[in-house]
């Protein structure tokens, strides 16, 4: 039997279904990998802001025109987190907040929040009903964790930019201070972009933990997850099946992922440059999400910034 025939007869899945399933689940693995990397750094913890040094590019998606700060938020049903944003006038700023698949939840700034462009924001688990301090604007998070990447324009005034950067605060509330119950990071092999996780991505206990760890905003996520779990069972049933799926990932899925990243099938590619100016969100485009999480995690909406990437050779 060929690989394609085995898949169609035994699983009701095509080779394309396998490629799609790998691309779909890899997007979440890439965010989990980044969570591990971030939290392994000295001084980094949940609900703690890291103020990145001006002019440094030793973090994901750097732009030397702005002062960066980043944080992992953690909340639960009873415990929100308060984000305090200073008044910023005459220069660009945004607090970009993303879910656990790296989809943008919101950008907090004067354009999106004209009635509350600065001050306190209560980050709450969606559906929860905690007490919120007066004057704080509620922002719902779809799951118990979220990532923030915030930016303040340098605008030739580094001293002012750094002062504003350090005026962003995370405030814990309660007396005594309430601490959320924080779920541990899902345990996965720490892979590199050069050596991506392949058939190991369909390890049953790991996949179940990964899928249970955060809801996905993609409208047909249940269909993709069903296919992922079907492949999990297939891979676990024999070594021959494992080898067959691994061959599809390495021979077809990985080259396709690279073609997505380099703009061969997505974006506006001209003369080796790719523009993402048309993309406001991931939405249901799981391919775009995975390509971005692989090529430059914490991508922001084109309503905030337009990315241009150059490829040579």
Where residue 122 falls among pLDDT bands split at 50, 70, 90?
very high
How many alpha carbons fall within 13 Å on the CB side of residue 61?
A: 24
Distance CA 173, CA 309 (A): 42
Domains and CATH numbers, the chain: 3-32+188-310 (no CATH), 50-171 (2.60.40.1610)
For residue 309, is pLDDT > 50? yes
Distance CA 306, CA 304 (A): 7
The mean predicted confidence, pLDDT, of the chain is 90
C-alpha dist (Å) from residue 210 to 17, 26, 129, 215? 19, 10, 27, 10
* pLDDT on residue 177: 79
pLDDT one-digit tens code per residue, 159-191: 999 999 999 999 987 767 789 999 999 999 999
Distance CA 217, CA 101 (A): 8
- Dihedral of CA atoms 226, 294, 33, 40 in degrees, nearest 10, equals -170
Asked whether the beta carbons of 268 and 277 are under 8 A apart, the reply is yes
Q: Residue 266 CB: number of other CB atoms within 10 A?
A: 19
Query: Taking phi first (over 0 means left), then psi (-120 to 50 degrees means alpha), and beta for anything else, what does residue 244 get?
Result: alpha
* pLDDT on residue 9: 72
C-alpha dist (Å) from residue 134 to 120, 126, 131, 274? 9, 19, 9, 45
How many alpha carbons fall within 13 Å on the CB side of residue 253?
A: 27
Distance CA 169, CA 182 (A): 20
Show the CA angle centred on residue 306, arms to residues 305 and 309, nearest 5°.
130
Distance CA 54, CA 153 (A): 11
pLDDT one-digit tens code per residue, 220-249: 999 999 999 999 999 999 999 999 999 999
Asked whether the beta carbons of 87 and 201 are under 8 A apart, the reply is no
Distance CA 204, CA 152 (A): 43
Average pLDDT over residues 65-90: 96
DSSP letter for each residue of 279-292: -S--TT-HHHHHHH
pLDDT one-digit tens code per residue, 277-301: 666 678 899 999 999 999 889 988 7
* pLDDT on residue 296: 87
Residue that wins the pLDDT comparison between 63 and 312: 63
Reply yes or no: is the peptide bond before residue 176 cis, omega within 30 of 0. Answer: yes
Asked whether the beta carbons of 186 and 210 are under 8 A apart, the reply is yes
* pLDDT on residue 168: 98
Q: Residue 88 CB: number of other CB atoms within 10 A?
A: 20
Distance CA 54, CA 115 (A): 30
What residues contact residue 203 under an 8 Å CB cut-off, 6+ apart?
232
Q: Please state the pTM of the whole predicted model.
A: 0.92
Q: What sign results for the dihedral spanned by CA atoms 40, 42, 46, 48?
A: negative
Where residue 28 falls among pLDDT bands split at 50, 70, 90?
very high
């Amino acid at each position: 039997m060929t690989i394609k025939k085995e898949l169609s007869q035994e699983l009701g899945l095509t080779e394309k279904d396998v490629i799609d399933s790998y691309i779909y689940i890899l997007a979440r693995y890439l965010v989990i990998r980044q969570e591990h990397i971030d939290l392994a750094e000295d001084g980094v913890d949940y609900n703690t802001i890291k103020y990145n040094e001006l002019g440094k590019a030793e973090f994901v998606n750097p732009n030397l025109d702005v002062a960066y700060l980043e944080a992992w938020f953690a909340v639960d049903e009873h415990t929100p987190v308060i984000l305090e944003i200073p008044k910023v006038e005459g220069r660009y700023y945004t607090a970009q907040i993303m879910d656990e698949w790296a989809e943008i939840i919101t950008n907090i700034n004067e354009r999106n929040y004209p009635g509350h462009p600065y001050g306190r924001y209560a980050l709450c688990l969606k559906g929860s009903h905690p007490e919120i301090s007066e004057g704080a604007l509620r922002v719902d998070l779809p799951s118990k964790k979220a990532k923030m990447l915030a930016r303040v324009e340098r605008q030739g005034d580094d001293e002012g930019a750094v002062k504003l950067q350090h005026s962003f605060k995370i405030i814990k509330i309660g007396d005594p201070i309430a601490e959320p119950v924080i779920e541990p990071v899902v345990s996965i092999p720490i892979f590199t972009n050069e050596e991506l996780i392949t058939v190991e991505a369909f390890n049953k206990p790991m996949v179940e933990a990964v899928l249970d760890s955060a809801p996905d905003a993609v409208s047909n996520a249940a269909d993709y997850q069903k296919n992922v779990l079907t492949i999990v069972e297939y891979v676990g049933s024999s070594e021959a099946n494992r080898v067959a799926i691994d061959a599809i990932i390495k021979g077809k899925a990985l080259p396709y992922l690279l073609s997505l990243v380099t703009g061969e099938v997505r974006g506006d590619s001209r003369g080796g440059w790719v523009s993402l100016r048309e993309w406001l969100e991931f939405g249901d485009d799981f391919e775009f999400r995975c390509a971005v999480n692989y090529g430059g995690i914490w991508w922001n909406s084109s309503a905030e910034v337009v990315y241009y990437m150059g490829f040579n050779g």
